Structure 1
Amino acid sequence: MFGALDTSTSALVANRIRMETVAANVANANSIEDANGENVPFRRRIAILSEGDAATGKAEGVHVRQIMHDPAPFMKKHLPKHPLADKDGYVKFPNINTINEQVNALEIARAYEANIQAAEATKAMMQSALRLLA
């Protein structure tokens, strides 16, 4: 029975990390420079989930296996007077679509809520079982 709580807990942790990744993407949606002032935009991050609980080594649950960079190409805008424009007048911008990130955030929030409900249901079942045994 405690495994069910562990499963919900691992999913809550994984969804928190996913939400942090989305938040970082939205926060950097307009970051077009690297530390050296070059036109190297922020690259979108994606949290990759994997089965099992890496913290306990159990097969149940889920964890973030890695946070990878999205290989999609950067967006380009024609801004010939911009100081970071290339020879053709284009400036590279992050490969982040804030609308997609908002949809991802909504989906993550719903998954988080579902796991809270699952944990609450598990706790209620455990309490009922203990009452029956007492």
Structure 2
Amino acid sequence: MAGDLDKALVVSASGLRAQSLRMRVIAENIANQDSVAATPGGQPYRRKIVQFKSVLDRETGAKEVAVRRVTVDPGAFGRKYAPGHPAADAQGYVLTPNVNGLIESSDLREAQRTYEANLSSIESAKQLATRTIDLLR
């Protein structure tokens, strides 16, 4: 039983770490959704995406979630007509980041819920361990 509790804690803790990083990346995307280049021909902020992978914890035998890598979204930039802007091209357009605030908000909500689910799992495992110890007294 202790091994199963250890596995539950290891898996949930890995989920907390992964979702914590995901929330930080999403927050960075939201913070930079209006960041454009400072010079003509320069590129604006490019959205970042967290990719996950499954990793076997050899000590416990549990499959954990881990961050595979943080990549950039290859999607097209937007364009905004702003002829007076320092980054405007010859036609007066400025490239804008490929960040969509609604998508980021939705992703953030999902990451928060997953984080909370992992916290609940840890709390449940902790309560189960405490009850088991109480029964053995």
Q: Is residue 52–residue 58 contact of structure 1 (8 Å, CA) maintained in 2?
A: no
- Give the C-alpha shift of residue 53 in structure 1: 5.9
CA RMSD of aligned residues (A): 2.0
State which drifts further: 107-116 or 79-88.
79-88
- Give the C-alpha shift of residue 80 in structure 1: 2.4
- Give the C-alpha shift of residue 133 in structure 1: 3.1
Pairing partner for 2:44 from 41, 46, 66? 41
**1:1-80 matches, cutoff 5 A:** 1-33=5-37, 37-38=39-40, 39-52=42-55, 59-80=62-83
Partner of 2:116: 113
For structure 2, the residue ranges without an aligned partner over 5 or more in a row are: none
Query: When the two structures are superposed, what TM-score results if normalisation uses the length of structure 1?
Result: 0.88
Q: Is residue 10–residue 53 contact of structure 1 (8 Å, CA) maintained in 2?
A: no
Query: When the two structures are superposed, what TM-score results if normalisation uses the length of structure 2?
Result: 0.86
Give the aligned length.
Answer: 131
Q: 1:20 to 1:57 in 2, by over 3 A?
A: farther
Q: Is residue 53–residue 63 contact of structure 1 (8 Å, CA) maintained in 2?
A: no
Q: Is residue 84–residue 92 contact of structure 2 (8 Å, CA) maintained in 1?
A: yes
CA distance in 1, matches of 2:53, 2:102: 26
Superposed structure 1 runs of 4+ greater than 4 Å apart:
56-59
